[in-house]
Amino acid sequence: MKLPSFASIKEVGPRDGLQNEKKIVGTKDKVKWIHMLADAGLSYIEVSSFVHPKWIPALADAQNVFAALERKPHVTYAALVPNQNGLERALLQDVDEVNVFLSASETHNKKNINKSIDEALSVIEEITKQSLFSGKKVRGYVSTVFGCPYEGEVNVYTVDELCNKLFSYGIYEVSLGDTIGVANPAQVERVLEHLLPKYDSSKFAMHFHNTYGMALANVVKSLECGVTTFDSSCGGLGGCPYAPGASGNVATNDLVHMLHKLGVQTNVNEEKLLQATKFIQSKLGTQIPSHVYRALQHKTVSR
């Protein structure tokens, strides 16, 4: 089994995790949690989203969260930016990186942000231009790469074309999202075997959801294909908006635990991550989907 010696984790819990939780976490607690995540060794944290507060009330305090952060050196504090107005707010807070997003499915894009894919691309092109001009790197999410809740299968040529455009705008990394958790390892291999001969593997991150329990199997196949960057959410927070009660983002805890078991380093301290998960659990009061969290919550991580 050919595995890399190191994998990068991009922690999306404070944004992608909290935006789907019913309970709104207070700004101070968010900031404390983000500090704990950084202390656990997570070097990339998506802090919030500068979307209009009426769309995602849970992240309405993006500005205040950034203002209150004590940023550690060598940690990237990123934010999701949906449009021009969001970019202005993000730049005012001097975010470290700008994240943009669109869907590989026309219907999902329309339902999610009320734009066609072409309209979304125009906005992204402009946001990227301005971000780069302001000295900010830009990362792009492409969602529903492995399936759409409305359209079903998504054509890999569409995904390829979107990646090509995003890279041409100057986006340094595309996160391939399995928004509804339907990807399986054979499909992951097919998609990556299509993309990797054209683009360097370092230009991709994989964003898996554990809706049907396949996220870690998909991570292993991605590693075997040569991709070494993964998005995940502390505790597995986030759920799935399309299936109430189902798992959402793959848990950072489960991802990091498996990577370490596989001999792949991450610089993440599992015990500190467990403490950060316990903290946010106490604020949300919800059940934490992470398997590792459930197995270890009653004991120390020493074994």
* Residues at the site binding a copy of itself, with contacts judged by CB under 8 A: 1, 3, 181-182, 184-187, 189, 210-217, 219-221, 240, 243-247, 251, 254, 257-258, 261-263, 290-292, 294-299
User: From the CB of 270, what's the least distance to a copy of itself, in Å?
Assistant: 11
Task: State which residue, 162 or 240, has the beta carbon closest to a copy of itself.
Answer: 240
Of 97 and 254, which has the nearer Cβ to a copy of itself?
254
Residue (95 or 225) nearer to a copy of itself, CB: 225
Q: Which is nearer to a copy of itself, 113 or 251 (CB)?
A: 251
* CB-based contact 213:250 (threshold 8 Å): no
Taking the complex as a whole, the smallest distance from the CB of residue 222 to a copy of itself amounts, in Å, to 11
Token pair 């040569």: residue? 226
How far, in Å, CA of 266 to CA of 264, rounded? Answer: 7
CB of 79 to a copy of itself, least distance (A): 29
We find the least distance from the C-beta atom of residue 269 to a copy of itself, in angstroms, to be 17
For residue 275, the minimal CB distance to a copy of itself (Å) is: 18
Cα separations in angstroms, 263 against 108, 196, 244, 272, 300: 38, 24, 35, 19, 21
Of 163, 225, 234, 240, the catalytic one is 240
Nearest of 274, 291, 280 to residue 40 by alpha carbon: 274
Helices 117-133, 156-169: inter-axial angle, 10-degree rounding = 30
Question: Is residue 180 a contact partner of residue 149, using CB atoms and an 8 Å limit?
Answer: yes
Residue closer to a copy of itself (CB basis): 132 or 220: 220
Nearer CB in complex with a copy of itself: 57/213:
213
240 is catalytic: yes
DSSP percent split of the chain into helix, strand, coil, nearest 5: 45, 15, 40
Work out the angle between the directed axes of helices 270-284 and 252-261 (0-180°, nearest 10): 160
CA atoms of 113 and 11, how far apart (whole Å) = 23
Minimum gap (Å) between residue 220 Cβ and a copy of itself = 5
DSSP assignment of 254-298 equals: HHHHHHHHTT-B----HHHHHHHHHHHHHHH-SPP--HHHHHHTT
Catalytic positions, please? 240
